[in-house]
């Protein structure tokens, strides 16, 4: 009987932990997507310094989240987003409008995919 109680507690802890991680991912990806939209608007208006400052905010938030998520999410996915943020910085510094917008769009897609992969669904479980 004690074994069943311990197993139930462990299962509940795993489910609660998964739900908390899912909420963390949802909040962070929404925040990052919102700021990337602001970067996109700044690029379209040729406000390169504003875009670079906003991109730095995104990078700071991403660095914090990456540390939290690294034990739970495949590092390849995390590193891919980091690489794209680095490319975006380079494009913004060189005022490359088309390349910056393309990189932002790719980052947005990666964030949506990251969220989709980590959501607790039957498809992701099996």
- The domain spanning residue 89 has which CATH number? 1.20.120
For residues 85 and 30, give the distance between their C-alpha atoms in angstroms, rounded to a whole number: 16
Domain for residue 105, yes or no?
Answer: yes
The rounded distance, in Å, linking the Cα atoms of 7 and 100 is 50
The predicted pLDDT at position 17 comes to: 84
pTM of the model: 0.81
Expressed as residue numbers, the domain containing 49 is 24-119
Burial of 62 from C-beta contacts in 10 A (0-12 / 13-18 / 19+): buried
pLDDT for 122: 52
Q: What is the pLDDT of residues 78-120, one digit of tens each?
A: 899 999 999 999 999 999 999 999 999 999 999 888 877 766 5
Would 49 be classed as within a structural domain?
yes
Please report whether residue 113 resides in a domain: yes
Burial class (CB in 10 A: 0-12, 13-18, 19+), 34: exposed
65 is a domain residue: yes
Is residue 11 included in any domain, yes or no?
no
Per residue in 30-62, pLDDT tens?
899 999 999 999 999 999 999 999 999 999 999
Structural domains in the chain (count): 1
Mean pLDDT of 8-17: 90
20-33 confidence digits (pLDDT tens): 888 888 888 889 99
Does residue 58 form part of some domain? yes
The answer to whether position 111 is within a domain reads yes
């Amino acid at each position: 009987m004690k074994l069943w109680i311990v197993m139930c507690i462990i299962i509940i802890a795993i489910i609660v932990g998964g739900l908390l991680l899912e909420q963390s991912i949802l909040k962070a990806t929404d925040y990052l997507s919102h700021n990337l939209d602001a970067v996109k608007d700044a690029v379209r208006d040729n406000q390169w310094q504003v875009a670079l400052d906003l991109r730095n905010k995104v990078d700071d938030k991403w660095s914090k989240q990456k540390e939290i998520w690294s034990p739970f999410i495949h590092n390849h996915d995390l590193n891919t987003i980091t690489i794209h943020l680095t490319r975006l910085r380079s494009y913004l510094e060189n005022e490359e409008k088309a390349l910056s917008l393309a990189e932002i769009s790719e980052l947005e897609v990666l964030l949506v995919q990251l969220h989709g992969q980590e959501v607790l669904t039957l498809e992701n479980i099996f």
